[in-house]
Structures are given as C-alpha cells and as structure tokens.
Structure 1
Amino acid sequence: MPSSVSFVWTLLCYFKTLFDLLWGSTGWQIIQFLHSAINPYWESMITMTSSSDKAKWRSTIPTERLVGVPQYGWRVTLDYKCRTKCAPFTMPRFRQAIQLIGLSYRYFKQWLKWKREGRKPFIDHMNPVKHSPIYGCPIGGLGCGTIGRGYRGEFCRFQLVPGRYEHKVLEANQFIVCIRKKGQTLFQKVMTGQRGRHLKSWEWNTSLDNATYHALYPRAWTVYNIPEQKVRLICRQISPIFPHDYKDTSLPTAVFVWSVENLGSEEVDVSIVFTFKNGHGGEEDAEGGAWTEPFSSDQDDVQTRGVMIHQTIQEMKCTYGITGRQKESVHVSYQSSFDPKGSGRDVWEALHETGQLNSNSEPSSETRKGEEIATAVCLQTTVPPGENPDLEFCLCWDMPLVHFRANQYTYARRYTRWFGTKNDACLKLSNYALKNYPTWEEKIEAWQTPVLQASGLPDWYKSALFNELYYISDGGTVWLEQTESNNLMIHSESPAPPHTHAHVREYGRFAYLEGHEYRMYNTYDVHHYASFALATLWPSLQLSLQYDFAQTITREDRHPIHYCMEGVNGIRKTRNSVPHDIGDPEDEPWARINSYVIHPTYDWKDLNMKFVLQSYRDYVITGNKEYLADMYPLAKAVMDTAIQWDVDNDGIIENGGFADQTFDTWIMHGASAYCGGMWLAALKMMVEMGTLLEKNEDVAKYGEILDRGKVSYEKKLWNGKYYNYDSSTSGYHDSVMAGQLAGHWFLKASGLQDDTIFPPDHVNSALKTVYENNVMKFDGGNMGAINGTRPDGKKDISSCQAEEFWVGITYSVAASMIQEGLIDEGFQTAWGSYHVCWERLGLAFQTPEAYMTDQHYRALGYMRPLAIWAIQWAVEKFQPQLLKQL
C-alpha cells in the first residue's frame, strides 16, 4: 500500500499540471479533495520514531567484544527488524509545488518519450527505489561490478551491468551448514533464515537471535552460535579494497572464510556448502544459454576445486566462479548443477547422508528459455575439541568486456590488464584471491587500525568512516582500461578521440554514478564533496577523473536540448565550461556528456569554481606539479567564463535568479554566500597556481579581482552574525544556510588560509550559528544539519531542498567545524546524519542524498555522503592530536 500511495500521489502531482492547463482552479480543487482522502493514511506511515523504537534499535546492538571481530563497526543481531516507517519524498508543499509545475509537465512529457524508446530515465521520479532495510556490506573491487549482501547473508543487490541495479534477493544463493558426529547428521540448515518460493526440501529456520552481523567495509563478519552442537562459526567476508593500490583493488572477487570452532569435548565433522545460480536477478536470467563447468586447479601452491557458470547478460559474456580451497584436512565436493526453481532435494539429501556432494566432472547442458541453473560447492573438515580450522571459499565474476546501452563502443575493465579479455579468467582469479587474501587483510588492517585505535575519535565515526566508503565500489562504478594499443575501445563502430594523456593510459578511466537512482556518471557538483575519498585514498584515480573533465572543457556540443525546469531551448554543452556529468549509462558516457536535462548547467555558478578548487586541492595532496600545469589553462578558461557573471563588476559573481548550482530547486538571486564564497576561494587558488607556475600577469589579474570581491562579499552578505543566503530582497535572503562557508572550507582544506577573505571571527560566528540553528534545534542535534533555517531557527520552507538534510552537506559542514577547532560541534553535527540513516531509518549501505523531519528520504544510494572523508582529512591535517593511539 505505501508504494501504491506514493506512486498515485506522484501521478496526481503531474496530472495537476494538466488539470490546471485545462480547468484552472477547478483542477486544484480536485487534487485537494483527493489529498484529503489520502493524507490521513499517509501521515500515519511517516510518524517520527518514538523513543521506544529507538530503545528497540539500541537493544539489538550487542555490546560484548567478539573474538576475531573488530570492536568498531555497524553491528546488529540477525533477528533485527527496522520498525521505522519511511518513504520516498514525492509531495512538496503547495507553495513549493507551484514553482515546480512547469518542470513537472515538461519532465512528464520527457518521461513518456523515454518509456516509448524503452530507455530508463536518468532520474525516474515516477518509480523511486523503495526503502528496504536489509542491506549489508557489498562485495567486489572497484569498477568491476558489485554484489550486495544483506546482513542476514542474502545476495540481494546486483550491479554487474554498467549503470544498472537489480534489487532482488536470490533464493538459491546461500550458505548451508551441516554438522555430523559419528556418521550422523545432527544439524543441517540454510544460514540466512529466509524461506522463499522454491527449494522446499531445504531447512531455513536458523535461530537468528544467536547470530550477529558486523560490518566494517570492505569486510564483514557473521558470528553464528549453535549451542546445542557446541559449535561457533564465524563467516568473514573480504573484498580487495585498500588505498593506493591500482591492481588488486580492481578485481571482481570476494573471499568467504568460515572459521569453525569446536567448543565441545567430541570431534565433529562440519560441512559448509556454497550455492549460487546464474544471472543477477533480472528477467534475462531465464533467457537460456547458461551452463556449468566443474574445474580444479593447482597453481602457486593453492589447490582449488569448483564450478563455473557461463552465461550472457545483456549481450555481455559473464562467468561466475564458485570455488573452494582444498587442503590436507579439507575435502572439496560439488554438485555441478541443480534447478534453483526446484525442490533442491538432490543437494540436500546428498549432504545429509554423507556430509558431501555427489561430484560430477561433466559440464552441464545449456539451459533453455525459461530455465535457470545453479551449482553448489562443499567444504568438509573434521574439527577436534578446542580447534578452529578455516574453510575458504571464493566467488569471482569475469565480465571483461562491457558496453553501455547505446552499444557504440566496447570497453575492457581495468582488471583485464592482468587477467585478459577472453572471459576465461575465473580459474586464475580464484587462485589469486585465495592465495592473496591474507595480504589484503594485512593491508586493510594497516590502513584502518590507526583510525580504529585513535583515542580522540568517536566510536560511531569509526564505523561511519569506513562503511560509508561502500559507495566507492557500489556506486555503479566502472574502471576501464586504456592502453596505447586499444585506446580504451576494443572495437568501435564510430571511433571517438581517445584520451591520450599518459596518466589516463596508465591508470584508466574511472566513473561512478551520482546515485543508484540518479544515474549520471561523475556528476561534478556532487563529486566535489565526495572527491576527498578518491583524492586521499586513490589519488591517481582522482587525477584521471580530472583529466577526463579537462578534456571536455573546450568542447562544444550543439545538440539541441529542451530544458525541463526553465522550458528553454539550448545546446548540450558550451565551450569553456565544466559539464554537469560525463554521461548517462543509458547512452554513451564520455562520447555524449551532460545527460542532465533539468537545467542548462553551462550557466551554473558552482561547476567552474569546483574544477579550480579540486585542481589545486589535488596538487596539494599529490605534489604533482605537472598535473597542476596541465590543469591551469583549463582552470583559466573556466574562470574567464565565470568572470562574465560579475554583472556589476564588483569582484563577486551573481546568481541568475534561478536554481543555478547544486541546490537545483533552491533559487539564489544576486551575490550568494555559497557561490560567492567558492568564487573567492577559486580566485585565491588561481593566484597561488599562477605564482607556482610563474604566470605573473594572471597573478595580478586574479589578485585584483579578489581584492575587490572580498570587500563586496562582506558588504553584501555579512549581517554581523553569519553570511546571508543571498543579497536579494526575497523573503528568505537572510536564511541561515548550512553550507554557507563551502568556499572557506575547501580553501582551508587545501592549505590556503587567508584571513582577509574570510575573517576568522566571522567564520567562527557563522559556524556557531549554523550549529545552533541548523543542527541543535532539530531533535536535540541528532538529525544532522538542515540545509536552511530562518534567523529564528525555524525551517526555511521556501524550497523543498531548503528543508532537507543532505548527508554529504552535513559531513562537509562538520569537516569545516573540525578544521576551525570546533571539534565537539563537528562530530555532533556529523553524528546526526549517521544516526538517522544507519540507526533510525534502516538505510545502512544505501545512504541517501537527503531526508526530512517527517521520515521521507530522497535518492537512495548516493555519492555525496563520501564527503565523510573530508572529516578525516580535517582530522589528520588540523587536529592530529585526535589520532593519539589508545
């Protein structure tokens, strides 16, 4: 019912426009009548969490230290259920809706056009992804596709096809545990506890209250206590994610290590079976043509046996490898194929009778249309009393060549540099992963331990910092290989100019989506906040992304676009401007950029600034002066375009009276704290870059503009306590914007503090005002920072985005506070977003862009929350005393 109400109400919003056009005010009367009928039920669904609900959540978090499991992370027992009701945001206030009538009408027309073409809209407001509080730590490396797992062990969110997600729980993908003593099976159950429509012969009633899930990305642990058998199992999930690595971090694989602890006085035989089916939860799983093939290998002192599933997914060859490591004390058996839609009797009974599976070395036949196929791999060992051996599984997927929907080019994924493009890498990948995962864990621990053991950092932050990083791999991420021999494209029907810079040839092209629902690659205004994750952990990928944008700046694309918000005609891309994004996976990214058709973003006032800010910040992090020299002429080009926005020649650019920046429904008029501050920071960085590169004329030019601009900024916006939202006479010009110091934040983070631009007493006062108004006046400071308030602390309701809490903005404001020494205030601010998303609303591993006080959220799975790594940068550079070890 909630989803249908949401959908109906969304339709009513769009149809209201048609009513207005046809019948004027009568249309709105009809809508109001329907709203009065729906609203009581709707309001009942979005009631704020009560204190008892919070206590219920708290009671599900074990506090005891688990052996072999880190002390910090996101932890729940497997019987946890999120009780909070929340839903996608669909209905703005009436006064806000009036502003969006034209957008709704034009978007709806465009939406119908996309549907007729069989194309997914880049933002599908008509079908928002629904909240499902089941997710846990995803598996897989960067840019190779990922597979999401629920905290109960479900394989439940597949992201293998570039830019597409399948939110399905696949019933046949499971771990089964069999415990035997003296030749008799005493315990045999599926370990997720969720029965589906098929596999009726399997037992699914695992006791969930005796199991605990613990996530600290890129690893997760599930501890199963089986007291009646005096056995404890710990399943450790490991993905090859660690900083400053550009090979192993790209691998499409994960390792599952099951530690088996015998707490009794008799030896026990323990078998663990890993089952997996073809496909990724989409309709094409039953298209036919899938087949399985058993294999064995003895390479690099690693013996493995397993089964491969060969298939084609949306015209791209893909092979899964399900592998077990064979050792002297561990026996491997397998069932090469079974029907995942059948009863599962053949797998279950063989395991129950012998603790092993009936291995068959022959490949299966290909499935026919309507059929699916699954396989099972079993590891069996005998465990004496007091012992705890490991059983090691590997899951890998080899989809080496991929394309986007336009299918104009075929691309090779990054890992193919070492494992080839022939779709035959599963055996090699499995052996490599099972041999090297101990080294991966050593590198993960070396990276994470200084944070986990830092005495000055809050416990929750240690979980948030690493777990929010899930998006770096699970954000529709592609990492594509480019060499001189193939120029990125393996073949092309219509060759496009390849990127020729040596850095991109060495490190490849990297792209991730703005969000699971907002499917645009490398959305630049959002990446600006998220970029601290790449810049500090994989700086060469950040530079590669910057080189990609640099290549687009001087390009012009005159393809006509009708923009939905303003209803104006324009072109896709103008010369000497930074594009909004690098393209839509439903089209051909890099070849056709700027897939966002809501606004003409070549007139956005923040995009050009953000390119300058990131260029200099990246130089500070990497010390790469060649990169700085490469970026400088492009930075100069976009700054010279931006100078034209200073209409009164006072040194400060003016906003155009529409939503011309990242807050794309929150209108700014004249000089604004947000864009004006970034403009001043960019001018300062141009002066600094010009000095380093001996561009003396440019130094004088930008320095003179800066001198005028900082005076105008203070005069037009400073009100004695904080910087006004903008310099207009609108009713909300003096609102308290949480992100008002975005320019100062980035400038100081980049090591450039100029007290004549942003006076320290003004900065301190503004941040304390934000803390008092935007943070502490909402649920006692436990919700994060709301985007806008009025001077009296009430919500600014002039725009729906003004009354939203944006997770990434909250984290960036917290980073700015910590940089200024407001440490307690900064962590309290950041805690609010973590608390709401991860502890109150059940949004773990799907952190949204925004949420509101009435339990609505918007855009699940979003890029901007990666801004939490800006907090870590602030800690390391400005508050190192917090990193003192426990």
Structure 2
Amino acid sequence: GFVSSWGLFPASCLSGTAKVQILSVITQYCFGNIQIYPDLLSTKWGEKSTAELMSRYVSKETGYGVPKDGWRICLAHEFKEKRKPFQAKDVSLSNILEHVGLGIRYLKWWYRKTRVEKKAPFIDMFSAQPLRQIYGVPLGGIGGGTITRGWRGEFCRWQLNPGMYTYKTVTANQFTVCLRRGGQTVYQQVLSVERPPTLQGWNWGYCGEYAFYHALYPRAWTVYHLPGQNVTLTCRQVSPVIPHDYQDSSLPVAVFVWDIENRNDYALDVSIMFTVVNGSGQKDDKSGGHWNEPFHLEKEGEAVSGVLLHHCTAVNPYTLCIAAREQADREISHQTAFAPKGTCSGLWSDLLTDGRLDSPTGSSPPTPKGEKVAAALAVGCPVAAHGHGSLEFCLCWDMPTITFGSREREHSRRYTRYFGTKGDASPSLSHYALTHYRQWERSIDDWQRPVLQDSSLPSWYKSALFNELYFVADGGTVWTELHPDADVSGGLRSENGGLPAQPAVIKEYGRFAYLEGQEYRMYNTYDVHFYASFALIMLWPKLALSVQYDIAGTVVREDLTERLNLMSGRYSPFKTKNVVPHDIGDPDDEPWLRLNAYLIHDTADWKDLNLKFVLQVYRDFHLTQDSQYLQDMWPICKAVMTSEMKFDLDGDGLIENSGYADQTYDGWTVTGPSAYCGGLWLASLCVMCKMAKLVNSEEDYQHYRDILDRGSAAFDKLLWNGKYYNYDSSGRNLSNSVMSDQCAGHWFLRASGLGEGEFQASEKIQGALKSIFDLNVMSFAGGQMGAVNGMRPEGVPDRSSVQSDEVWIGVVYGLAATMIHEGMREEGLRTAEGCYRTVWERLGMAFQTPEAYCEKGIFRSLAYMRPLSIWSMQLALDASQTDQTTASQPGGT
C-alpha cells in the first residue's frame, strides 16, 4: 500500500532491491524530519509507461526543445547483448599458425615497452577495453581535451592529457536536486540511478524509469520526472562544436542548462547542486598538493561565481572550474572543499537544511598525500505554480600548455590564442561560455536544421550523421598553435619545389591531430583519415588543409634509423623519403617529430598511402577552390606518384600488391593487381590528369594520361569478372571474393565531382555495387548488419583472415555514399542503416563506435576514427539533390 499509494516505484523497479529502495525513502522522509505534503504524492505518473512519459516530454507542451531526431534511451534500459573485444583466441587455427612469428615478436616488444620503458603500447593486444554500454555525448570543444558524461549521468571517460584516456567513473561528480515549499525541504535526490558503496549519506537510486536521455551531438538532453513531485527537470548539455568556427569550437567548456517545470498549484523553491572532484579518477587525484578556491568575476555587465579546482601535477597541471551566472532571483552558493569519502553526510545536510550551501570564503589547504578533495556549487530559484524556471552551470578546464609522453617539447593549445597560456583562464572561460552559449545554440540550430527538417531522410540517419561526429573532439584530439621556430618539413624541400616552412593555413589555424582510435593510439593515421576526412573538409576545411600541409611536410623527410617490423621480422627505416607516413606519431612519445608509431608493417611498402594523399588533395581543392593549396601540393603529389610507380612491376600501367597485407586491410593479404589498390591507383591518375590541366602542365598531363589508359585496360582485363572486380588477380582459391570496398577509388572521384566514366564504365561500377548489395549486405546477417568486408560469390563470408569477415562501419558508410552517388539511394541507406542499428541500438556502443564487429560475439577497437566517413553520405546526398534540381530546370540535363 505504501508503494502503490505514493506511486514512487513502477513495477519494473520492484526487483530484489525494492526493500532497499523503500527503506531509503523511509529514511529520507522520516529520519530526515521532512514535512510531507499529500498533494505532492500524485499517483498518476506511477501509472504511465516509459514510452508515454518519453512522448510527453518531447511534445511541444514542454517547450524545452528536445528534438524529435537523435539517439534516445530510457535511464532504466539494459542492453541484452554483451559483446567481448577481439582477442588472439578468436583467431582461427590457420591464422594463428600464420602469425606465430608476429605473436612472439609482439610479446617481446610489449614486455620491453611496458616493463622496461614503463610506457603504454600504441596497441595493447593484452588489455583491450571491455564494452561498457554507458557513454553519452562528450563535453568540450575540439582539441582541448574532453570529459564524457554517460547517458545515465555519470562522468566516466576522461581525456585531459592529450591522447591518453582514463575510463573511470568518478562517483561524487553528480547533480542533486532539492525542492522546498513553505521554507521546508520536501524532496532531495541525487539524479543518479546508481547505488554506490560510498557517499551513503546521500539519497541515491533515482528510478531510471522516470527519465530518458536524448543525444544529438554536440548537445544532449536528460529529462527527469521527480516521482510524486509533479516536477519535471530537463538538463540540456551544450558544447561549442560549431562548423566553420575556429575560435569558440576550440574552447574546453560545456554548459548545463536546467529547465524546471512546476505543474503544481503552488510555488516551489528549486535548487540544483553540482559536485565535482578535483581530478579525473586517476592515482594522481591522491598525489597531494591539490587545492580549491572560490571566485567571482564581473565584466561587461555580467557576473559569474564558482569554484576553481587546481590540480597541481608535475606534468600537464590543470584547473577545473564549476561556475554559474549571477541573475536576479538566482541564489548561488558553494562549498569550497569537502572530502568525497565515507557517508559525506555533512554536505548533504547542508543543502537539505535550506537549499543552499555555506559558502565559506578563502582557499582550501593543499591536500595531503593520499587524500582527495571535491567542491560543490548550488544554484536556486523560485518557480511559480504552473511555471517554469531555469538554472545554468558551466564546467570548464584549463590545461593551456601540454607535453606529450616524451616531455621534449611544450605545445600551446589553440584556445590559448584567445585566453592566454598562464593557466588562469578558467574564470574568463566560464564567463564567456555562460554569456555565449545561446549564440552557440543558434549556430548549431542553423547548421543542423536543413538536415533535421528534410523529411526525405530517415530519422536514424539524422542521428548517425551528427552523433558520429563526437570523434572529432573525443578522438584524443589536439589542436595546437604552431611554434614560431617550427618547420613542417624539417628544413627539407622536394626537388620540384617545396612547402614554405610555415604554411599560412597552419600559422592561422594551428596544427590538428586526432587518433586512429582511442585504443589504437596513433595520430592522423593516414590510411584511415582518408575515410574520416570528410567530416573535416565539409565542416572545418581549414583544419583538413592544415593536416594535409603537415602530411605534405613529412613526405620529403626521412629517418634512416632502422627498427624491427613485428609482422615480417625484418628491419627497415622509420621513414622513407617521398612516401606518405602511416601516422604522425604516438601521444605517449612526440608526435610531429617522430613519425610512424605503427611498427607492425613497413608502411613504406604500402600501396594506398601515397594514393590517398593525392586523392584528398584534389577532393579538397574541389570543395574549397583554394588555388594556392593546389599549387603547393602539386610537387608533393608528383613526388609520391613517382615513388608509387615502383610498384608497377610489369610496366602495364597498373600497380601490384606484394602478397602481404600492404594497405589499410593490414590483416588481409593481397597478391598482384587488386580491386582496392588498383582502383585507388587509377583514380589517383585521373586526378593527376585534372591537376596537370589546372597547373597548365601539358607534359605531365600526357604522362599520367598514358599510364591511366594502359592501367585501365589492364585493370578490366585482370579483375573484372562480368559482375564485380575480383579481390585480386592471384588466381588463388579466394581471389574472386567480393570486397565491399572495391569501389573506393571511384567513391573519391565522385566526391570530387568526377567519376562518370573516368576509368571504369558506369555499368561496371553499378554492377559491382549491385553484387555487393546482394551478397555483402543482403546475404549477410539477414541484411541487418551492414556490409561484411569480404563475401564469397556463393554467399558465405570470406573467413580467410581476421578482417575479411568483419564489418568496418566507416567502410560501410563510404560504400553507402558510393551507392547514393550512383543513383542507388535506397540501397545505400539500407546498407548504412544496418550499421547504425547494430552499433547504437543493439550493441550499446553509443559514442564509442568501433572499427569492426563480426556477425556474432566480438568487436574490435572501440571509439574509432573511420566512421566519420558518414559525412561522405551527406556530401553524396547534397550532390544528388543538386543534380535533381539542375535537371528540373529549363535546359537542365
């Protein structure tokens, strides 16, 4: 009777912990000496289903602007499928035998790296991250570090030190609500569904059935109904990730706006308390010497108050800041320091007494070693009967200068151009965020509106397009100022000309780097960036060009120091001249200075890196029309194409693969001319012809045209089988497998405004895409999981390698874009939908989209760069819409 009359617990919450929940309520209301108002204890919400609640909160009636499209989940949801990361035991016996040497060499290298050098390996095959189905929209702009807030409200993933992650949930980082009526507290609750073993003096265990989370990056909404209180809270989370904005998008800040709806016949006083630990859940939280202080900043007619949490480590010290904007009828109070351990009942009672905190003046003493310190900020306001109110908080962090793992060089983050490098910017950052976030939201709305209002696009696509963009900020991303003494090519120039030491675009817009994946710790991994780069060139084109200038500068560099390649067991130089590097380095070493952290293969022998550089140069020129960029890149393109020519062993105009895994599919061997690399080669020759015309070099045009004509003929002769292009031309048993990525070269041509009959007849491309759709998509997992990388013509996956029977989400999005370019819109959307539904809805991998998954059981490399290729789908959709508009106009074709 107690439960049903109060309506506090829906049936789904009455599990084995029901008694604990009821006792918690009894403790709060009876022992807490809180007056009970019977009219607050409405039963109507206890009778509603979660779906009804969610429908209610996203209606126009609430006026809180929760969008229709995005990723939505109830806080009580549990994902049924629990997958495991890929491990060596998941490899077939034949593959194990084939890679015994690699395993032994890797083990020796891993032991030396972790035990002797005390460093983290760039890929740790022995401790892959387990799947935690908890992540939500990350906080912060681009390049200044990120903090991820989970969809249940926990602060659970940290990337403050550049490129290095901590997967820790910091229990005390919470929002708490306090409701008061007539001078007495009637309800106080931590807005968390968890029941941690610490801080038991707080009222935990909010029933998740009464709330849902909605993500549309870079914003998120969490809607809470307070059981029995007739009050709804909506927390809107805003980060400044704004296309074509190169200032505010760099800021390490986030704003939380709490909208309050009081549906009662009487007024309430509502307070929200934000508690934050000085640290990020790492061991150095207890290293001692950390301290907090309150602050107040007033300028330009606006004032903010809050607490600064100074994290005083020897390397990369930083300051966290929690702040609120001072407004009429808003009361801001704080607790400078409290120990987040034990029951912590003192802080809870402080808020419970009067809805505010004591607000002591002065700084806290530095923490002794072994102790942690936290701070709290509370903001309160009156909310009229049947009225609304709002409260604003800011969280920011100031780590202005950084060193990477080698500690050799100091780098200034991009935002320091506007807020300085002294480490005292937190008050100004919070003031700026709290007075500008509405402007950010208008810009975000203007950017997203055309897609969200396009009724021809499915809802899942709108969610995927924007939410996959999280990786631009949360990919271990760094965005730094170019050092005054830096030279992007180390003082070297190519024989045919060279880049300026400090290209104008890097001087103006800085250096940008993001990881291949949060577990594959290499910056700007170029074979993968080829796919992901669509997000940058479409939304932050100056950053895309900055990356290209940096890569171009590395082409002419060389490092003849030899090292062991783990796959072959042979030694080769770190970096070969006139070859595009695999990556620009490991954040645990010294990126930009020491290249090619990847040491499994000698990537100077890879066939795709040089070609992907050339293709990106022309695509970027096509989309930006930056003629200076084209002039600067032309001699670099010629140098890498000349280097690539050595792979045409028989002089037929078509390059050959080596018989090893010598391209981005680094676990899937390929011999002789291949559909993937051969297609990239011919596409690169196409754009070299186009660029030769643009730079008025007829001689170069004729040179590349001759190779293209001969190579195209050889490509069709050796690989086309009447339905699709064979995986390779080796004639081995599996050489006629259907590769889902066989049209990658054509994809880039179409994205560059080319491709109609450039080197492959349209009917062959469309025939290949149809075969891929029929076999790799519809004959795999019932057509519900995207496109498997390799499929046998008889309709079973190619299981000859670890990678051939995987689905690569980023490849699937690129494949879908190619289909859309070729008029196969429905097939393209169906193909991509399988990946989104699998990753986001079935497997619970939100905001950690992996590189790969198999049909059953396993996934590989969580939080990966390649899925940013979904923006190539938007480019294709835009192009197809433009073509349709042109065709409908008088004289259109």
Common fold by TM > 0.5: yes
Match in the other structure for 1:74: 71
Q: Which residue of 2 aligns with 1:319?
A: 319
Give the whole-Å Cα distance in 2 for the aligned partners of 1:783 and 1:880: 30
The 3-state SS of whatever aligns with 1:323 is strand
Match of 1:722 in 2: 724
Cα separation, partners in 2 of 1:177 and 1:611, compared to 1, 3 Å: same
**2:557 alignment counterpart:** 555
What is the letter of the counterpart of residue 111 of structure 1?
Answer: W
The answer to which of 185-194 and 91-100 deviates more is: 91-100
User: Contact between 1:148 and 1:156, CA under 8 Å: does it hold in 2?
Assistant: yes
Report if the CA contact (8 A) 2:53-2:210 is conserved. no
* Counterpart residue number, 1:397: 397
- TM superposition shift of 1:485: 7.7
**Cα 1:677–1:567 shift into 2, 3 Å:** same
Deviations 1:377-411 (A, max 9, x none): 00011100122121000000000010101000010
Q: Which of 81, 95, 101 does residue 84 from structure 1 map onto?
A: 81
Q: In the alignment, is the contact (CA less than 8 A) between 1:479 and 1:511 conserved in 2? A: yes
The reply on whether 1:99 has 2:87 as its aligned counterpart is no
**Alpha-carbon distance in structure 2 between the residues aligned to 1:760 and 1:738:** 17
In structure 1, C-alpha distance between the alignment counterparts of 2:206 and 2:861, rounded to whole Å: 34
Q: Which segments of 5 or more consecutive residues in structure 1 lack a partner in the other structure?
A: 1-56, 489-496
Query: 2:835 maps to which residue?
Result: 833
**Alpha-carbon offset, residue 498 of structure 1:** 11
AA paired with 2:750?
K
Q: Report deviation, 1:301.
A: 2.5
Q: Distance in 1 between matches of 2:146 and 2:356?
A: 30
Q: 1:858 aligns with which of 849, 853, 860?
A: 860
Equivalent residue number for residue 474 of structure 1: 474
Counterpart in the other structure of 2:610: 608
Q: Assess, with a 3 A threshold, how the Cα gap between structure 1 residues 533 and 197 changes in structure 2: closer, same or farther.
A: same
Q: Identify the residue that residue 752 of structure 2 maps to in structure 1.
A: 750
Amino acid corresponding to residue 554 of structure 1 in structure 2: V
Distance, in Å, in 2 between the alignment partners of 1:738 and 1:339 is: 55
Distance 2:544 2:106 in 1: 33
- Which deviations, in whole Å up to 9, do the C-alpha atoms of 1:87-116 show, x marking residues without a partner? 011121111222221111111111011012
Query: 4+ runs of 1 displaced by more than 3 Å?
Result: 57-67, 483-488, 879-884
| Structure 2 unaligned blocks of 5 or more | 1-48, 489-498, 887-893
Residues 439 and 743 of structure 1: is their aligned pair in 2 closer, same or farther, counting only changes over 3 Å? same
Do the aligned partners of 2:138 and 2:148 also contact (CA within 8 Å) in 1? yes
Structure 1 residue 486: deviation in Å? 8.4
Q: Which residue of 2 aligns with 1:108?
A: 107
- The correspondence of residues 566-605 of structure 1 with structure 2, limited to 5 A, is 566-605=568-607
Query: What amino acid maps onto 2:465 in structure 1?
Result: L
In the alignment, the residues of structure 1 paired with residue 486 and residue 317 of structure 2 have an alpha-carbon distance, to the nearest angstrom, of 19
Q: Tell me the residue number matched to 2:33.
A: none
In structure 1, what is the Cα distance between the partners aligned to 2:209 and 2:406? Answer: 48
Q: CA deviation at 1:192?
A: 1.4
Amino acid across the alignment from 1:600: D
The residue aligned with 1:789 is: 791
Q: Distance in 1 between matches of 2:393 and 2:549?
A: 39
What is the CA–CA distance in structure 1 between the aligned matches of 2:86 and 2:399, rounded to whole Å? 36
Deviations 1:799-855 (A, max 9, x none): 110000000011110010011110110001001111111011110000000000112
CA RMSD of aligned residues (A): 1.7
Alpha-carbon distance between aligned partners in 2 of 1:624 and 1:551, rounded to the nearest angstrom: 18
Cα distance in 2, alignment partners of residues 645 and 854 from structure 1: 38
User: How far did residue 756 of structure 1 move?
Assistant: 4.8
- Judged with a 3 Å threshold, the aligned counterparts in structure 2 of structure 1 residues 426 and 485 are, in CA distance, closer, same or farther, namely farther
1:61·1:76 contact (CA, 8 Å) conserved in 2? no
Q: Using the alignment, how far apart are the partners of 1:743 and 1:364 within structure 2?
A: 60
Which amino acid is 2:785 matched to? Answer: M
List per-residue Cα deviations over 1:153-173 (Å, max 9, x = no partner): 100000000111000110110
1:302–1:434 CA contact under 8 A, matched in 2: no
- Equivalences, count: 820
Which secondary structure state, in structure 2, belongs to the residue aligned with residue 439 of structure 1?
helix
What letter corresponds to residue 243 of structure 2 in structure 1? P
Say if 2:82 and 2:131, in contact at 8 Å, map to a contact too.
no
Structure 1 pair 771/639, CA: closer, same or farther in 2 (3 Å)? same
Would the alpha carbon gap of residues 203 and 663 (structure 1) be closer, same or farther in structure 2, given more than 3 Å must change? same
Instruction: Show the counterpart of 1:40.
Output: none
Q: What residue in structure 2 maps to residue 193 of structure 1? A: 193
What residue identity is the alignment partner of 1:869?
W
1:819 to 821, 841, 845: 821
- Could you tell me which residue of structure 1 aligns to residue 647 of structure 2? 645
Cα displacement string for residues 99-157 of structure 1 (whole angstroms, at most 9, x for unaligned residues): 22111111111101101210100000010011000111110000000001110110000
SS in 2 for 1:229: coil
- Asked if the contact 1:876–1:883 (Cα under 8 Å) also holds between the matched residues in 2, the reply is no
Q: Partners of 1:677 and 1:486 in 2: how far apart?
A: 37
Contact 1:483–1:506 (CA<8 Å) still a contact in 2? no
Structure-1 separation of matches of 2:516 and 2:106: 19
The 1:715–1:487 alpha-carbon spacing in structure 2 relative to 1, beyond 3 Å, is: closer
Provide the C-alpha distance between the structure 1 equivalents of 2:312 and 2:660, rounded to a whole number of angstroms. 47
* Aligned partner letter, 1:218: P
Closer/same/farther in 2, CA of residues 498 and 150 from structure 1, 3 Å limit: farther
Distance 1:453 1:883 in 2: 18
* 1:152–1:192 CA contact under 8 A, matched in 2: yes
CA distance in 1, matches of 2:608, 2:119: 30
Q: Which letter maps to 2:352?
A: H
Which amino acid in structure 2 is aligned with residue 167 of structure 1? Y
Q: How does 1:23-38 map to 2 (within 5 A)?
A: none
Residue pair 2:486, 2:502 contacting (<8 A) in 1 also: no
8 A Cα contact 1:821 1:879, kept in partner:
no
> Which amino acid letter does the alignment assign opposite residue 178 of structure 2?
C
Q: Which residue does 1:50 correspond to in 2?
A: none
* Contact preservation (8 Å) 1:819, 1:879: no
Question: Could you give the per-residue CA deviations for residues 268-325 of structure 1, whole angstroms, max 9, x where no partner exists?
Answer: 0100000001111111111011000101122222221100001134611200110011
**In structure 2, C-alpha distance between the alignment counterparts of 1:356 and 1:175, rounded to whole Å:** 14
Moved more, 124-133 or 202-211: 202-211
The Cα shift of 1:195 comes to 2.4
Cα distance change on mapping 1:498 and 1:421 into 2, 3 Å: farther
User: 1:686 and 1:639 mapped to 2: Cα distance?
Assistant: 9
Q: Per-residue displacement from partner, 1:534-554 (whole Å, max 9, x unpaired)?
A: 000000000000000000001
Partner residue of 1:243? 243
Identity over aligned residues, as a percent?
Answer: 50
* Aligned 8 A contact 1:847 1:862 in 2: yes
TM-score, normalization by structure 1: 0.91
Alignment counterpart, residue 687 of structure 1, candidates 679, 686, 689:
689
1:683 Cα deviation after fit: 0.3
Partner Cα separation in structure 2 for residue 301 and residue 834 of structure 1? 46
**Does the Cα contact within 8 Å between 2:608 and 2:663 map onto a contact in 1?**
yes
Alignment match, 1:733: 735
Q: CA deviation at 1:347?
A: 1.2
Cα distance change, pair 786–258 in 1 and its aligned pair in 2 (3 A): same
CA–CA separation in structure 2 for the residues paired with 1:443 and 1:344: 42
Q: Distance in 1 between matches of 2:53 and 2:587?
A: 39
The residue that corresponds to 2:782 in the other structure is: 780
- More displaced stretch, 774-783 vs 796-805: 774-783
Conservation of the 8 A alpha-carbon contact between 1:499 and 1:548: no
Q: How far is the alpha carbon of 1:341 from its aligned partner? A: 1.8
* Aligned residues of 2:66 and 2:221 also touching (Cα < 8 A): yes
- Name the amino acid aligned to 1:713: F
Q: Distance in 1 between matches of 2:637 and 2:55?
A: 51
Provide the secondary structure at the position in 2 that maps to 1:444: helix
Q: Are the counterparts in 2 of residues 62 and 76 from structure 1 also a CA contact under 8 Å?
A: no
User: Which TM-score applies when normalising by structure 2?
Assistant: 0.90
Specify whether residues 339 and 137 from structure 1 end up closer, same or farther in structure 2 by C-alpha distance, changes over 3 A only: same
Quick one: distance in 1 between partners of 2:503 and 2:672? 39
Provide the C-alpha distance between the structure 1 equivalents of 2:148 and 2:811, rounded to a whole number of angstroms.
26
- 2:521 corresponds to which of 519, 522, 535: 519
Counterpart contact for 1:82–1:133, Cα < 8 Å: yes
How big is the shift at 1:230? 1.3
Whole-angstrom CA distance in 1 between matches of 2:487 and 2:139 = 29
